[in-house]
Structure 1
């Protein structure tokens, strides 16, 4: 990021993100780890308070609808006052919801499922296994079903329906 923006150091980038966070333009969520020290030093994921900011500062020529949906889910989880983290060891799971600092739910946001369950469920399954959770939620643009995959219950729901819950 610092090279793309032409900034001097990682500390400068962290400072700018801190300024944006203090002004409530962006929010960050840390990587979940049982070690607080590892949580502090791991990279954080950044989400915008308004999806229009993503379009303004994006370096892409086309909209990343998947990132927009993920940002929308983040904002709703934040509105619901959830304690949020993300998971990443080999694969990434977008959101780990905790209560009393213990993971209680894992949520993955995917634009649309393409049929490659190993790839699409990978991060979610890794998080479910890591935190001893029996079921996980995948939010998509329009798909809805439930299945058991590798011994874990996977609930796939459209984001619009989840937002109305």
Structure 2
């Protein structure tokens, strides 16, 4: 299968499943191998997946920003504009992960499930006020999944 066809297929899949977020991810040109049929997160033969420096850096930035906003989110007092800012951090860091990814194909497929969750949360955080808090919860869930399924000794899961 040609790289162009693979990239186009990924773009169509992402746009159909993630809307705007998928289009943003697809626009980055992420074209390396993907395991077909990866529908649910899973460990690598009982172990967490290896990470690379760009992934650890990007997830750390998202985690730190969410950690700072979490008290206001819990108290339902985070301004709508701040939700939008968080959404942009998630999108930009997801794009950075994809552009700089050096994971194995199987680990990459697992990461894409987490990225989809992150982008879904970002879309909700940048939409109507009634969905913003739920979007933050989705992003926090993605961060929890990252800590569960990927090795990153410097990553400190959020307490929520």
TM-score normalised by structure 1 residue count: 0.27
Higher strand share: 1
Higher helix share: 2
TM-score normalised by structure 2 residue count: 0.27
Query: Highest relative contact order (Cα 8 Å, sep 6+), 1 or 2?
Result: 2
